Amino acid sequence: MTGMPSAQRPPRPPRADARRNAARVLTAARQAVAVHGFDVSYHEIARLAGVGVGTVYRRFPERAQLLEAVLLDVLGELADSAEQALGEDDSWPAFTRFFTGLALRTGENAGLSDSLDDRGGPQVAAARRTLLDLVRRLTERAQRDGVLRADLSWRDIPFLARAAAAGACVLDLPADRLQTERCVTVVLDGMRAPASTPLPDRL
């Protein structure tokens, strides 16, 4: 009995070492993008992953594929965090944990803010829409519960998270995680109901 023709055989699943290498390359890509942005060299990613640069090129033959993989990973992580927050009973602690995580990721990652912008292919656009819908649901739930100021729009949330993110340096003052947490605390105080100063209306 002859075997199945090679053209009809299902593709073999990746070997365990290949899967491990792929995971290490993606993790290293995120770390490298955090420091250098999306123009990071493949050699730097390979160094962080502990693999040869050829392994990185096999995983991401085109830089656009690197961009898409990192953005999908970041957006998926944020969406998971938002889903978890929606599953919690107390809407204010849930909202603050999600918002704090969003701001911290933005502050610690030079390339993360790009994940909220118009970059990437259809999969990234779909992941971005999913995350924004979760942000809307979190915002509206907190407002229904009377803990988030009513004049906020869910569209304000990504901008406020980016504003609270301390970044790397301002006026030659170095920032760190604690600085972002301090800024987040101030911003959250301004977001909590009741509002002391009305927000400007859009014309």
The number of domains in the chain is 2
Which two three-digit tokens encode residue 43?
């050699």
Name the 3-class secondary structure at 5. coil
Tell me which of 2-6, 23-27, 77-81, 130-134 is least confident. 2-6
Which two three-digit tokens encode residue 32?
């490298």
Contact present, 33 and 41 (Cβ < 8 Å):
no
37 in the same domain as 102? no
Which two three-digit tokens encode residue 52?
């040869």
Q: How confident is the model at residue 147 (pLDDT cuts 50, 70, 90)?
A: very high
Could you report the per-residue pLDDT of 120-130, keeping only the tens digit for each? 688 888 999 99
Strand spans (E) along the chain? 169-170, 173-174
Q: For residues 1 and 67, what is the distance between their CA atoms, to the nearest angstrom? A: 47
Q: What is the CATH number of the domain that holds 94?
A: 1.10.357.10
169 in the same domain as 100? yes
Which of 27, 61, 95 is the endpoint of a domain?
61
Cis omega before residue 61 (within 30°)? Answer: no
The answer to whether position 133 is within a domain reads: yes
Q: What is the mean pLDDT of residues 162-182?
A: 78
The answer to whether position 171 is within a domain reads: yes
Helix (H) or strand (E) holding 17: helix 16-36
Which of 61, 92, 113 is the endpoint of a domain?
61
123 in the same domain as 35? no
The answer to whether position 88 is within a domain reads: yes
74 in the same domain as 49? no
Residue positions counted in the chain: 203
pTM for this model (two decimals): 0.80
Contact present, 138 and 152 (Cβ < 8 Å):
no
Q: How confident is the model at residue 202 (pLDDT cuts 50, 70, 90)?
A: low
84 in the same domain as 49? no
Which two three-digit tokens encode residue 196?
């002391």
163 in the same domain as 93? yes
Domain holding 45, by residue range, is: 17-61
Name the 3-class secondary structure at 122. helix
41 in the same domain as 99? no
Q: What angle do CA 131, 150, 187 make, to 5 degrees?
A: 65
**DSSP state letter for 192:** B
Q: What is the pLDDT of residue 118?
A: 59
114 in the same domain as 47? no
Q: What is the pLDDT of residue 7?
A: 55
Q: How confident is the model at residue 161 (pLDDT cuts 50, 70, 90)?
A: very high
Q: What is the CATH number of the domain that holds 30?
A: 1.10.10.60
Contact present, 14 and 22 (Cβ < 8 Å):
yes
Q: What is the pLDDT of residue 74?
A: 87
The answer to whether position 7 is within a domain reads: no
Which two three-digit tokens encode residue 18?
């290949």
Backbone dihedral angles phi then psi of residue 12, each to the nearest 5 degrees: -70, 140
